[in-house]
Amino acid sequence: MFFVPRSRDVRVPHAAAVDTQSCEADSRLCATLLVGKIVSDSAAAAADTGTSDYDSIR
């Protein structure tokens, strides 16, 4: 089961942790990291199932 933001307006926690150096150097790596950030946030949200900012997808 994955958790995705209910709205695109949901604020990104720890945005500063995103690796900007990779985004300047390698577009493919950057895209992978950014999508990975969304997925890891979703996994973190899964740990807190009570949050109302995320929808769950089975």
CB of 27 to other proteins, least distance (A): 4
Binding of residue 46 to other proteins (CB under 8 A): no
52 binds other proteins per the rule CB under 8 A: no
The answer to whether the CB of 57 falls within 8 A of the CB of 4 is yes
Q: Which is nearer to other proteins, 11 or 50 (CB)?
A: 11
Q: How many residues bind other proteins (CB under 8 A)?
A: 27
44 binds other proteins (CB under 8 A): no
- Around Cβ 2, how many Cβ atoms within 10 Å? 14
The answer to whether residues 34 and 46 touch, using CB atoms and an 8 Å cutoff, is: no
